[in-house]
Amino acid sequence: MTLDEAMTLVDYDGPAYNYHFKADEPKKMNAFLNKHGFAVVRDVIDAETAKAYRDEAMRILGKAKEASWHSEWNYAELAPVFCQILKNEKFLAIYREMLESDDLMLVRASALIREPGSRSRVWHTDHSIHKDNPKNRDDILLGHDWLRGCFFYVDGCEPRRGGMVVVPGSHLPDWPGPEGFRLDRPSHILYREDNPSEPYRGMDLPGAFPLHARPTDLVLFHARTWHTNHPHLGRGDDSRVFVRMNLRPAAQHFHTPWEQSQTVREFIDKAPEYLKPFVKDYRGVPHQYLI
């Protein structure tokens, strides 16, 4: 962690947003999400469940290297505890409202662990504009309007320990980007106009809004929303764990050119009864796939 990166943790002084919602307010939450591109839903899980999710992720992934982070995109096949989120009616009601569908299908689950000293990521959007002419795995998975970021920050989400930062309204198609910056939509990355060769990762991006959430809260954002994370300024044994699940409307066409792996087929065959409706068309996520 450099001093320059630490100094970019500026206080937010823009518009105020009442972006926290109760779990029984899915319609109100979704209206805010569609307008501003992000939301947080309180207490979708309890503290015991948050701890169980964290323990499972640490057991499966282990600590990342010092001052770094790592992740696993085929997490569903490895994490039976986290998969039980698909028995959680609060979570499912939120997803049904967001996707306007009662019939939901698993796209992916993932987990990420960040260590103290890890730097912020570059500003980016998860949405790919190459869905109709995909070049790789991410173009296929991330090129859909139904995609939503759905995270549990099971250690809490707050600025000085790697919490998420978004730009409200940046998910809208006509968002021009901040003055003095250039949006490279094909690569999903943002640059300063006076430094076009280096993707921008500073926290002082105009309009940047830091999110706060408890371990029991669900953090949501639209796939088109521009976002990053703060540097993790914690010390010592302060691994930060995030787990995520993406669902899609089952009726939406979703073609993947890769074959199901043996691991995915076994996962589907051995799925408990509650999970079977969500995974019958699950394709898995290859670590690398180029077209």
pLDDT in tens, 198-212: 999 999 999 999 999
Average pLDDT for residues 282-286, to the nearest whole number? 88
pLDDT at 13: 61
Domains, the chain: 3-7+19-275 (2.60.120.620)
Please check the confidence at residue 1 and state whether its pLDDT lies above 60: no
Residue 14 in contact with residue 64, Cβ under 8 Å?
no
Residue with tokens 């869905």: 131
Average pLDDT for residues 223-247, to the nearest whole number? 93
Please check the confidence at residue 74 and state whether its pLDDT lies above 70: yes
Phi, psi of 35 (to 5 degrees): -80, -45
Q: For residues 229 and 221, what is the distance between their CA atoms, to the nearest angstrom?
A: 13
Residue 215 in contact with residue 50, Cβ under 8 Å?
yes
**Residue 55: enclosing H or E segment and its boundaries?**
helix 47-61
Average pLDDT for residues 152-166, to the nearest whole number? 94
Of 98 and 129, the one with more pLDDT: 98
**Residue 105: enclosing H or E segment and its boundaries?**
strand 104-114
If DSSP codes are grouped into helix, strand and coil, which group holds residue 40?
strand
Strand bridging mode 20-21 / 38-41: parallel
pLDDT at 86: 98
pLDDT in tens, 38-67: 999 999 999 999 999 999 999 999 999 988
pLDDT at 5: 40
Residue 246 in contact with residue 102, Cβ under 8 Å?
no
pLDDT at 6: 36
pLDDT in tens, 4-19: 443 344 455 667 789 9
- pLDDT classification of 132: cutoffs 50, 70, 90: low
Residue with tokens 């899915």: 26
Distance in Å from the first CA to the final CA of the chain: 37
